[in-house]
Chains A and B, each alone.
Chain A
Amino acid sequence: MTSGGLEVVCERVSFAYEEGRQPVPALADVDFRVGAGERVALLGPTGSGKSTLLQVVRGLLRPDGGSVRLGDLAPDDTGYGELQRQIGLVFQQPELQLFAATARDDVAYGPRQLGWSEEDVETATAEALATVGLDPAEHGPRHPYSLSGGEQRRLALAGVLAMRPRVLLLDEPFVSLDPPARRDLSQVLHSLMARGMGLVLATHDVDRAWALCDRRVVLAAGRVVAAGTWDLGSGGERVLGEYGLEVPFLVDLWSRLGRPLATTPRSAREAAEMLA
């Protein structure tokens, strides 16, 4: 259901919120790049600018300085707005934004806004519901609030997936979910990953970021303090500790076992196979 990835390049992006008498800076000279189909974890403490950066990338907030290039297009090029619409942004606690009378109608909202034919809307809606593990026939006609918390979260994700994004930005997708709901959502994200969906995962949860993402960018106080692949060689992930984040469990385990860090497994199953 993806139509090829989309490269996103932020160059020296700055942003400040107008609040009261003085602007409150949220991003300062942020360089941030996601290759087409790449999966990047956006890590950082609360208030470091993760959500702001995602909203700037999606074009909901206009940067005060710098620019966001999408594919080959700069902000002033024709067709840029069209590319912005192909970025799927799932807000923090997106279930709070459900509003339609049925789960199906809520998912169909985005595609209808895009002006698709009712037939296409139908197909996209059913597909998106199935992708997030909801049954279009069983869950589709139900009222969103009659679903469980985890199902509501996945329903909101379906609402964004139905618009067939080429890259998905997720803002703290696991926050305030119970363990089974986290596991279900995790499975959905892994299945999207297997299909080559580009992903930006803003989170505190370094273990899930490690399992899902090739690279990680660490934000602190609106600045990029570390970017690139997970720095396993020289104990570079200690940078996470400095910003109140943890080192991923498997990375920590592998380093304590004295194993070559380049071979660190991405999941418990992989680890078990390697240790057996």
Chain B
Amino acid sequence: MRATVAQYYPGISLVHRFDPRCKVVAVAVLVVALFVRDGFAALAVFAAVGVAGLALSRVPLAWVWRALRPVLWLMALTFVLQALFGPGDEFWSVGPLHVSRRGLEQAAFLSVRLIVIVVIGSLLTFTTSPIALTDALAWLGRPLRRLRVPTEELALMATIALRFIPTLFEETDTIMRAQRARGADFSRGGPVRRARALLPVLVPLFVMSFRRADDLALAMEARCYTPGVARTRLHPMQARPRDALLLLLVAATIVAAMLV
């Protein structure tokens, strides 16, 4: 049992090195544009951008497939529903089920659009570490501080949570093995029995987590962490010329999609 949180694929490609804030903005804008603009031609433009991005990112196809797989059944469902209940004159029917040409077209359009959205969205998570992503969202959320939303603190919480997820997985693994050495059996019996069998795992896991949280809080205070005070960063985010280029490319993509 190993934690693969999100789908980050470490690398040093151009896409990896874009400023995370620019990547978040670029992806958000592209996805909105995808929803606004109809038509296969526009879709082809966005798809081309997605494929080009994937190629530039050097993320292996197997990795992409892993991210796409769970979406496929959703895509299939969308396709079937649209094909069956879409508008238009029927040109093929079996019993009470009718399929129209327009319905089929729409089904294909929506399915492909879903894939393109997932590919473009995944580009962000493939090439941006969860920590960088959190920092980017915190920065972009700064205007919310005026509304007293504690964005910095929320970002820190998210960062700490992400940092400890693999640790928790490892600990769960160890505790389960230790309890198995004492005769625990996690695979026998019905759901109630199985849930009960997890008690010897959950209690130590919670106790350890609370202890660790306590220790971490003390250690942070010992290193002068004060909530609500602006912090500086070890790796400050810095926009470079290439980030301007990214935003220009996104703008160009949208213009192209509007014109075709």
Contact = CB atoms under 8 A, between A and B. Distances in A.
B204 A110 contact: no
Interface stretch (B113-121, B144-152, B175-183): B175-183
Contacts of B61: none
Given A91-B174, A109-B200, A97 B2 contact: no
Given A18-B2, A96-B208, A110 B178 contact: no
Contacts of A97: 175, 178-179, 182, 200, 204
Interface string A94-112: 1011111000000001100
A19 B180 contact: no
Contact of A89 (B181, B185, B199): B181
Nearest to B9: A21
Contacts of B183: 85, 109-110, 113-114, 163
B203 interface: yes
A96 B204 contact: yes
B201 to A, nearest CB: 8
B184 interface: yes
B179 A19 contact: no
B204 A99 contact: yes
B177 A110 contact: no
A153 interface: no
Contacts of A98: 204
Of B175, B182, B199, most A-chain CB atoms within 10 Å: B182
B204 A60 contact: no
Contacts of B207: 96, 145
B105 to A, nearest CB: 41
B182 A160 contact: yes
B182 A110 contact: yes
B226 to A, nearest CB: 32
Contact of B181 (A19, A96, A145, A160): A160
Contacts of B175: 96-97
B15 to A, nearest CB: 19
A20 interface: yes
A58 B181 contact: yes
Interface in A1-38: 18-20
A163 B182 CA distance: 8
A58 B184 CA distance: 14
A196 interface: no
Contacts of B174: 91
Contact of A159 (B180, B182, B185): B182
A97 B180 CA distance: 11
Interface of A: 18-20, 55, 58, 60-61, 85, 88-89, 91, 94, 96-100, 109-110, 113-114, 145, 159-160, 163
30 contacts: A18-B2, A20-B2, A55-B177, A58-B181, A60-B177, A60-B180, A60-B181, A61-B177, A88-B181, A91-B174, A91-B178, A91-B181, A94-B178, A96-B175, A96-B204, A97-B175, A97-B204, A98-B204, A99-B199, A99-B200, A99-B203, A99-B204, A109-B200, A110-B182, A110-B183, A113-B182, A145-B207, A159-B182, A160-B181, A163-B183
The 8 closest A-B pairs by CB, nearest first: A113-B183, A99-B203, A89-B181, A110-B182, A91-B178, A60-B177, A99-B200, A97-B178
Interface of B: 2, 174-175, 177-185, 199-200, 203-204, 207-208
